[in-house]
Amino acid sequence: MSVIAQDPSIRRADGSILMARLDVPAEELSAGPIGYRVHVVDYDSSSGHYLGAHRLPECFEDEPAAWQAGRASIVDDRRFRAQNVYALVMKTLSRFEFALGRRVGWSFGVHQLKVAPDGMLDANAFYSPRDEGLVFGYFPDAGGRPVHTCLSHDIVVHETTHALLDALRERYLDPSGPDQAAFHEGFADVIALLSVFAQVELVRELLRRDRSAVQGGRFIRYRDVSARALRQSALFGLAEQMGSELQDVRGQALRRSAELEPDPGWLKDPEFAEPHRRGEILVAAVMNGFIEAWTSRLRAAETPGQSSHPLLRVAEEGSDIAKALIKMWIRALDYMPPVHLTFGDALSAVLTADLEAWPDDERFGLRDHLRTSFRRYGIRPASERADGIWGRAPLDLRYERVRFESMRTDKDEVFRFLWDNRKALDIKEGAYTEVLSVRPCLRVGLDGFTLRETVAEFYQVARLTPSELRAKGILLPPAYTALLRAEQRAGGIRRAKTLRGGAAPNEGDVPADPESDPVTPVYGGAVLIFDEYGKLKYRVHNDVFGSRQSERLRYLFEVGQLRAGERGAQVVGARLSALHRQRSIDARRFPQQGW
Amino acid sequence: MKPSAVEVRSYQVGFGDCFLLSFVYPKKTRRHVLIDFGTTALPRRGSKPVNQADHMERIATDIAQVSGGQLTAVVATHRHADHISGFATTAKGGGSGRIIADCKPKLVLQPWTEDPKAARDARKATADSSRSRRSFVSGLNAMHRVAHAVCKIGTAPPRSMPVSIAKELAFLGMDNIKNESAVKNLIAMGARRGATAVWAHHGSTSGLSRLLPGVRVHVLGPPDLTQSEKIRRMRSSDPHEFWQLMAGPKALRGMGIARRSAGGKGRVPAEARWFQQRLATMTSEQLLEIVRVLDDEMNNTSLILLFEVGSKKLLFPGDAQLENWSWALEEAPDATRTQKLLAKVDLYKVGHHGSRNATPKQMLWDRFLKRGGPGARRMKSLLSTLPGKHGNTLKKTEVPRRTLREALDQQTDLVDTQKLSMAAKAPLCHVVTIPV
């Protein structure tokens, strides 16, 4: 299918829009288009108009010439907009399914994701799990012409990635530490940007822009593919050319990865404490790893006596590395803990997942490049091993009471396994435990053999009073405990007053009731990776009563996501639509200043 | 010459602000400063609504009478209707605005964003950098156009819009509509012969100290753009750009003001109707979210004024929100000095009618030294508000916010306009006297 390679502002020399051709899973679409995983609803809610159910061309060859040529008129073609958004959502979904070796269902449990390509007048685009869909807004540019966010490759992939990440790690939208909130944004940007760079057409066009570097239109000098030069031509070049009207919608992650000098200090900089800014550090670390891998691959291919590479070769290498990185990062999700993710966890997960699926890293050296790039941005692997790979799971586990086949699909069976091994697996009593998912997956390894794995996630939650938490060694912020007490008392007085028909209560009417002491929840959990014999290979664990909980609660309180209520903690999550809005206006938070 | 006392009148303007400061000098001479004069909603008189123009005219007459027909200065903290609607004149040039203008203020003080020069530049600012003064101001102007649209939507909402959202939109829209007559009158008062107009920002002079011997007036906010831009080294984008995006004529059409005649393709097919409903609700929520951002942005252009009269300190922050405060109290080069000054405040005009984000808890409130149990030294607070108009109790965004009001009640001598009756013969204001 033809799609716009990035957005309508990236043009070829002849003025036409730069297009790309995407392969998507074959299917017979209904009018809408409606497919087996995506349902496009072209309803503009701001004007109240239904814009019709579109029938897409059945194959690439049937597409109108204007689409393939990238004529400017396609921007106003609703049918094309529907195809563009459909193709990019399906492509992203298929990248996930391919990398993971299994079907990936949406988080909300129904089969089709609803997509509104021109859903509302707003300089915003977002994924809303509650509404089971993606909404792309449109808005007028300075000249009054409409800008459609659904025509931007990176924006569509970004939103789809939010939906897929939410499907694979349902707890990542919950309040946790600063990294987890930032990860949703950062990861969506990583996949979106790599997906743009995976298109050879676009990379070639970007490199061609700098005429002096290109000889005869087909060769590029060695010195113009140094890390510095590629940062400039590819990263910065793309950031410069992306539609500037869309800057508020997509944020500045790409530009920042070209500009943000590696410095371990960024993570501690208050400016990067806001989730929408913190994600930029992750993006910068990945994109710079990408550039390093690309340039060193090209350096290896230099021939003595020559001074330039074929341009196509350079573009293809870049695109191949981008594709490999996409696969790597999607696979990494299986190796990330189900709750309380940190950037260090993400790094260990990507290194481990890649080692398992692709032990030989000779060609691109991606693991080394990522390790180095992340270190330069101050992100160290969470694993204690020197190479950053997760440690192996304990081996003395009991398997005799569980059934091998059921362990691959059945939550109850996996729970029984947990229960039988709760001591060895360090599953804490006094917390509620639930298996969130059991997912069998199949991958083809480098040696041509298939790799079978089962990935199961469980989480734990305990709701404890301040004194119970203290007994577990978890400290609440003193200001929060004081607020809890005050809220409880104020609530008691209000209640007594209501019961007395509005009269003010006496001192004795508000009994201190230790039974109703307010509780605060703490979460933990793990992801379990079983090998093809059903034996536990890895266990990536976050202890529900662990030592990081005090710090996490302090962070949540400081940013205003943990609030004191009458009956205990109120944990306030963020909606992605609001997060995107905060990003577009670069909002600052003053959580401890409000009433 | 030094004042021996300050009398502060806090008028009943419902959801709005109107304060008259009278500086009492020896030999019973007085100088009067009017800070804000506006309303967006009045309490009912019994069960009957009160005519806003009539009520504001009564207050204007009272102001003229108290000041003996001579105002030293008029301050309009920012452009929202609940702070300036009283300055409007009727079609024939009469009304409350006329009465105030006839008091011939020698000084008209407003934030820098109101400088007509900035506004004139702003009109041609579309291609300009989004960070410039001009485009900032043009963004503020764009807000009025958005407000018109929003107001219409709020008063005649599409069926799909929840009533609570429609009500809030109408209210916010009303407050942000450009009050052309009031704005013009303020300009005219400042341009009058013998009068001065001052457009101030953090650290600039207000012109008030010259007219009020023995009184120092500090302008603590709003920061100028060059000041606030320094807060972030790598600011990603600019909020004001998206105001412009929202304000094009197409935008208004898209908001349902002028429906496109062609383009619809009949009913949504049955299988898509559930999502159509959700989309409609989301659109309403998003619209409200945008309008709230814009409303806050305008609030943040508020002047924050601190009057130092002898050893007494009076703080009038308009509707300044946290971003404006944080410049003065945390980020400005003289923030430590400001913190010290504000610690000793004797009278605090509660910011933004008692909303949750206008009295910074740690930056400001916790640092007030004169909070506490009853006593002669205890600080006074003035709250001018009307409940049930703004925000949502369940979401803890109601105005006035319950917890703030409780704290004011327990730790300060709270003077609340809610206690003023609307009865025809009841007094129009509270009078608070601060001896110096």
- What was the pLDDT predicted at B129? 40
Tell me, what DSSP letter sits at residue B235? -
Chain B residues inside the 8 Å CB shell of A33: none
Is residue A77 predicted with pLDDT exceeding 70? yes
Instruction: Decide if A580 touches B, using CB distance below 8 A.
Output: no
CA–CA distances in Å: residue A8 to residues A72, A73, A319, A567: 8, 10, 21, 53
List chain A residues with CB under 8 Å of B158. Answer: 48
Average pLDDT over residues A482-502: 81
pLDDT of residue B242: 44
Chain A / chain B CB contacts < 8 angstroms: 171
With bands split at pLDDT 50, 70 and 90, how would you rate the model's confidence at A134?
A: very high
To which H or E segment does residue B410 belong? helix B402-411
Q: Quick one: pLDDT at residue B229?
A: 57
What three-state secondary structure class fits B56?
helix
Q: Is pLDDT at A416 greater than 90 in this prediction?
A: yes
Is the pLDDT reported for residue A229 higher than 60?
A: yes
Q: Do B362 and A593 count as a contact with CB atoms less than 8 A apart?
A: yes
Burial track A560-573 (b if 16+ CB lie within 10 A, e otherwise) = ebbbbebebbebee
Q: Is the pLDDT of residue A507 over 90?
A: no
Determine, for residues B360 and A590 on separate chains, whether the beta-carbon distance falls below 8 Å: yes
- Pick the closest to residue A105 from A32, A166, A34, A40 (CA basis): A166
DSSP B117-137: HHHHHHHT-TTS-TTSHHHHH
Do the chains contact at B278 and A121, CB–CB below 8 Å? no
Closest-CA distance, A55 to chain B, in angstroms, reads 14
Contact residues on chain A for B266, CB-CB shorter than 8 A: 50
Per-residue pLDDT at A508: 63
Cβ-nearest to B322 among A142, A577, A590: A590
Q: What is the mean pLDDT of residues A496-514?
A: 70
Residue in chain B lying closest to A115 (CA)? B275
Strand order in the sheet with B107-111: B196-200, B107-111, B73-75, B30-41, B15-24, B5-11, B429-435
pLDDT of the residue at B325:
93
**What percentage of chain A has pLDDT greater than the value 90?**
52
Q: From start to end of A72-161, where are the E strands?
A: 113-121, 125-128, 133-140, 146-148
User: In whole angstroms, what is the distance from residue A308 CA to residue A291 CA?
Assistant: 18
Look at residue B135 in the predicted model and tell me its pLDDT.
62
SS3 B18: strand
Which of A214-218, A327-331, A505-509 is predicted with the least confidence, judged by mean pLDDT? A505-509
Q: What is the pLDDT of residues B75-107, one digit of tens each?
A: 999 999 999 999 999 999 899 999 999 999 999
Extract the tokens encoding B117.
């020069």
Which of A5, A24, A19, A249 lies closest to A135, judged by CA? A249
Query: Among B234, B248, B283, whose Cβ lies nearest the Cβ of A45?
Result: B283
Tokens read off for B404:
């703030």
**Structure token pair of residue B113:** 């964003």
- Distances B74 to A367, B43, B103 between C-alpha atoms, Å: 67, 25, 10
Residues of B in contact with A114 (CB under 8 A): 272, 275
CA dihedral A290, A294, A295, A298 (to 10 degrees): 170
Residue A512 pLDDT? 63
Query: Percentage of chain A with pLDDT > 70?
Result: 95
**Beta carbons of B268 and A128 less than 8 Å apart:** no
Phi, psi dihedrals of residue B345, rounded to the nearest 5° = -60, 135
CB within 8 Å of chain B, chain A residues 40-79:
41, 43, 45-53
β-pair type (A125-128, A133-140): antiparallel
- Chain A hits for B357, Cβ within 8 Å: 590, 593-595
Average pLDDT per consecutive 10 residues, chain B (436 residues; last block may be shorter): 95 97 93 97 92 95 96 96 96 94 97 75 38 65 76 81 86 86 94 93 93 96 73 40 45 45 72 91 85 84 95 96 90 93 97 94 94 91 93 84 92 95 92 95
Mean predicted lDDT score pLDDT of chain A: 88
Determine the pLDDT at residue B42: 94
> What is the pLDDT, as a whole number, of residue A537?
93
Helix, coil or strand: residue B79 = coil
Cβ separation A588–B323 shorter than 8 A: yes
Q: What share of chain B is helix, strand, coil (3-state, %, to 5)?
A: 45, 20, 40
ipTM of the complex: 0.84
Measured between CA atoms, how close is A594 to chain B, in angstroms? Answer: 5
What pLDDT score does B298 carry? 85
C-alpha A538/C-alpha A390 separation (Å) is: 7
pLDDT of residue B250: 46
The pTM (predicted TM-score) of the whole model is 0.87
Q: Is the pLDDT of residue A193 over 70?
A: yes
Nearest CB neighbour to A584, from listed B233, B242, B362: B242
pLDDT, one tens digit per residue, over A366-410 is 999 999 999 999 999 999 898 999 998 877 889 988 888 899 999
Reported as type and span, the H/E element at residue A21 is: strand A19-21
pLDDT digits (tens, 9 = 90+) for A254-311: 888 888 888 999 888 888 888 878 999 999 999 999 999 999 999 999 989 888 899 9
- What pLDDT shows up at residue B396? 80
Comparing A45 with A506, the larger pLDDT belongs to A45
Least confident range of A108-112, A451-455, B118-122: B118-122
Q: Suggest the residue from B242, B300, B363, B411 to mutate for an interface test with chain A (most A CBs closer than 10 A).
A: B242
Please check the confidence at residue A531 and state whether its pLDDT lies above 80. yes
| Tokens found for residue B231 | 């807060």
